[in-house]
Copies of this chain bind each other. A is one copy, B any other.
C-alpha cells in the first residue's frame, strides 16, 4: 500500500505528541520505525519519551540538537551543517528502505529558520520509497511541502496556558 507524507504544523500543542502516538500505533502492528528529531536536546531533560520508544524497538537519531536561538555556543553555519548531515542520513534510509515509518520531528523548523532550503528537502523527498510512511512535524511548514504532502494537519492554539503564565510540567509538556 502507498505510504503517505503527513505534515503536522501550526502553533498549537500536539505536533510532536501526534508523531509519538503514530510511532506507538505503528509499533503495535510491529512496523519498523525510525524517529529522527531536529533542534531538541532531550538528554538534558532527563528521561523522556525517547527512552520508551527505544525500548519498544524504535531507532532514534537526533541532529542539530542545539538551536542557535537558544544556545549561543553554536552558530547558524554549524546548525546548517548538522541539518545537512541529517538529510544525508534520510537519503540513506530511503535508499536502504528498511523502515515502514519515518518520523522527522521538527524538520519544518529547519526550513523555517533557514538551516535547510525547502528545495533541498523536496529533492530528498523525491526518493522516498513508495511504501514508506513519512511524517514531518514543526511550525511554519513551507507551502511547497504542503503541496507535496498527502495529509496536512494544522494544529491551532485556541487557548494556551503559557499566555496565562502557567509553568511547563515535566512528563506532560516535555
Q: Which A positions have Cβ atoms within 8 angstroms of B? A: 1-4, 6-8, 10, 12-22, 24-31, 47-53, 56, 100-101, 133, 146, 149-161, 164, 166-167, 169-172, 174
Contacts and interface: CB of A to CB of B under 8 A. Distances in A.
Query: A-side binding surface: helix, strand, loop or mixed?
Result: mixed
A13 B157 contact: no
Max count, chain B CB within 10 A of own CB: residue among A56, A161, A164 = A161
Contact of A152 (B18, B149, B157, B164): B157
Contact of A17 (B10, B25, B160, B164): B25
Max count, chain B CB within 10 A of own CB: residue among A16, A20, A31 = A20
Nearest to A159: B152
A26 B172 contact: yes
23 contacts: A2-B166, A4-B169, A4-B172, A6-B13, A13-B18, A14-B14, A14-B18, A14-B21, A14-B155, A17-B17, A17-B25, A22-B172, A24-B52, A25-B48, A28-B49, A100-B171, A150-B164, A151-B161, A152-B157, A152-B158, A153-B155, A154-B158, A155-B156
A153 to B, nearest CB: 4
Contacts of A17: 17-22, 25
A2 B133 CA distance: 38
Given A25-B49, A166-B4, A153 B12 contact: yes
A126 to B, nearest CB: 19
